[in-house]
Amino acid sequence: MSNFSNTGKLLIYSLYWSLTIFSFAALVVFGSVDPTKYHNLRTFLATAVFMNILGKLTAGLFVFADDIVRLGKYAYQGLFQNGVPNPSTENGISRSEFLSKSALVAGALPVAAMSYGILSGAYDYRVRRRTITLPNLPKAFDGIRIAQLSDIHSGSFYNKTAVKGGIDLLNAEKPDLFLFTGDLVNNESKEVKDYLDIFSKV
């Protein structure tokens, strides 16, 4: 991180330790949060901790790789060069600095991707059409249109208008048969209560 300005370093360190402290605090209070009253808060805390740990583990792989490379260099110098390091022949960024910066990017990517998925994916409704050919299908079923919907997770919703738009998109396909294949809620059945009037139109 030698090429970062002091302000940039301070920002990165502050963000890193703020997320770390928040994760520890979330783990401490998680068990005391009443799931019957604050299930959304529990989901938020669990997701935040998971994202933080995933980011750190991903970054840790690159840092670990850097440590292995350093260990190999020290072992080689100790065995074959009497502990005298080689003069640096690298131009530009060093391997160690490259791995450190890669760790920073690698740790941020899963957190950014999951954050984007959580914020935008809940309403990213798309229709994917597939034509399925079954050689032994009775002729009575030839041309039947089947709609399949999965992974609703209604506990993650906060926009009824967007959910209604998704159901309208589904109904516009005019399927002959509708199949729902699971995960209607995150944790409890009451999560779907506010959306039953919308889903009843399927």
Looking at the domain assignment, is residue 131 inside a domain? no
Looking at the domain assignment, is residue 132 inside a domain? no
Q: List pLDDT tens digits, range 182-192.
A: 888 887 888 88
Looking at the domain assignment, is residue 62 inside a domain? yes
Could you list the residue range(s) of the whole structural domain that residue 74 is in? 6-122
168-201 burial, b if ≥16 CB within 10 A, otherwise e?
Answer: eebeeeebeeeeeeeebbbeeeebbeebeebbee
Looking at the domain assignment, is residue 172 inside a domain? yes
pLDDT at 174: 94
The lowest-confidence range among 52-56, 139-143, 171-175, 179-183 is 52-56
Same domain? For 115 and 146 the reply is: no
Same domain? For 105 and 165 the reply is: no
The answer to whether 166 touches 127, Cβ cutoff 8 Å, is: no
Residues ≥6 apart with Cβ < 8 Å to 103: 59, 60, 61, 62, 63, 66
- The pTM of the full predicted model, rounded to 2 decimals, is 0.52
Same domain? For 109 and 37 the reply is: yes
Please give the tally of structural domains in the chain: 2
Residue the block writes with tokens 């022949």: 89
The answer to whether 66 touches 44, Cβ cutoff 8 Å, is: no
Looking at the domain assignment, is residue 129 inside a domain? no
Report whether pLDDT(199) > 60: yes
Same domain? For 22 and 84 the reply is: yes
Mean pLDDT of 61-89: 72
Looking at the domain assignment, is residue 168 inside a domain? yes
β partners of residue 149 = 180
